[in-house]
Amino acid sequence: MAKVVIPLAIGVGLIYWLYSKIDTSQMLDIMRTDINYWWIVLAMAISVFSHIFRAMRWRLQLRGLGIKAPLSSLIMSIFGCYAMNLVFPRAGEVWRSIYVADRQKTSFTTVVGSMIGDRLADTLTVLLLTVFTFFLAQDAFWAFLDTYPQVKDGLIRTATSPVTWGVVAAGIVALVWLFRSRSENKVVTQVRTAVRNLWEGFAVIARMEGKWHFLLYTVLIWGCYFMQLYVATFAFSYTAELGVVATLVLFVLSSIGMGIPTNGGLGAWHLAIIFGLSLYGIGSPFDPNNLDVNASTFAMVVWGAQTLMLILLGIYSIVFFYVERHRIATGQITVERTADGGMKL
């Protein structure tokens, strides 16, 4: 219950804090008269391709593990994953792993390991984008840290904290003991097997075929993420001239904001975008007690469109899973077991 209530409370609290003093009539007027919704529709379409490319990248990892899931099922699992994250933050990742492991009759922990590898690739991409964008727009980032010195202080404290390094050291010692120990205790054996499967699912990236395709799909995934935001800027008269660098700053800040465990970035994404826009003269200087209605409307409309697309894709995936399960149960689709113990249609 707490995993549902706390993220939702954080998101709703942020939205209330950001929008409680915004003139709703002004927002509605902008939505009626100052938005070219065709650009929003195009941005939504681009977002669909980001999920397809993610499924194609994940398929490479699974194939490296001998798990031959059909691409259509993987695409639908990604659609369902993001839709579920709107309700249960981060739960969608576990759900897609459960779905694939159950469908292919394979190890759940191995599939989870591949998912972790998938997400670590995204984390590394965000870090590289952040560094790259920092050198392109240092003033914007220094302005962010000057406005929120607690963020900088928190990062420094975390990196230098004895607790942080103590936890890391304890984890290393525990792993070394786990694999050097000859204990046949049932719990220890199960944990050892689970950790080994997790590592196997993650490490497959280093030895699987198609490493360059993995890199290409990563570029395509994040290229789509960026392009859907960049395209959306053309929908509003006051953001149409932002340009690539400014949009890249918005993109990096919003990607970092998505790290806050709220439902689909509720509130956190808005805050990052509104602040980023303020750096480029839209609502500047940033003041949460006196937010610019233009920046607030941009954040709400773009986030709302993205969320609507995820809901529609989630509904579509539910229909797909129902039909697929029914066709397998009635013999309309023959499930053939592969040599590796998985299944293919």
How confident is the model at residue 51, as a pLDDT? 96
Peptide linkage before 261 cis (omega within 30 of 0): no
Here the tokens at position 8 are 């939702």
Here the tokens at position 296 are 């607030």
Cβ proximity of 252 and 4 under 8 Å: no
Cβ proximity of 260 and 10 under 8 Å: yes
The model's pLDDT over 94-137, given as tens digits with 9 standing for 90+, comes to 999 999 988 888 888 888 888 888 888 898 898 899 888 888 88
* Number of neighbours of residue 112 by Cβ within 10 angstroms: 22
How confident is the model at residue 338, as a pLDDT? 42
pTM of the full predicted structure? 0.82
Cα 210 from Cα 154, distance rounded (Å): 39
Dihedral (C-alpha) 330, 331, 334, 335: value to the nearest 10 degrees? 40
Q: What are the domain boundaries of the chain?
A: 2-344
Angle, helices 24-33 vs 293-329, to 10°: value is 70
Residues facing residue 236 across a β-bridge: 35
* Number of neighbours of residue 162 by Cβ within 10 angstroms: 8
**Phi (first) and psi of residue 262, to 5 degrees:** -115, 165
Can you tell me which residue has the tokens 């007690």?
Answer: 289
How confident is the model at residue 56, as a pLDDT? 96
Better-predicted residue by pLDDT, 147 or 23: 23
The model's pLDDT over 33-76, given as tens digits with 9 standing for 90+, comes to 999 999 999 999 999 999 999 999 999 999 888 888 899 999 99
Cα 244 from Cα 246, distance rounded (Å): 6
Cα 273 from Cα 277, distance rounded (Å): 6
The model's pLDDT over 155-192, given as tens digits with 9 standing for 90+, comes to 677 777 787 788 878 877 877 776 677 677 766 676 67
Q: Which DSSP string do the residues of 73-125 spell out, in sequence order?
A: HHHHHHHHHHHHHTTSTTHHHHHHHHHHHHHHT--HHHHHHHHHHHHHHHHHH
Cα 10 from Cα 3, distance rounded (Å): 11
Residue 343 above 90 pLDDT?
A: no
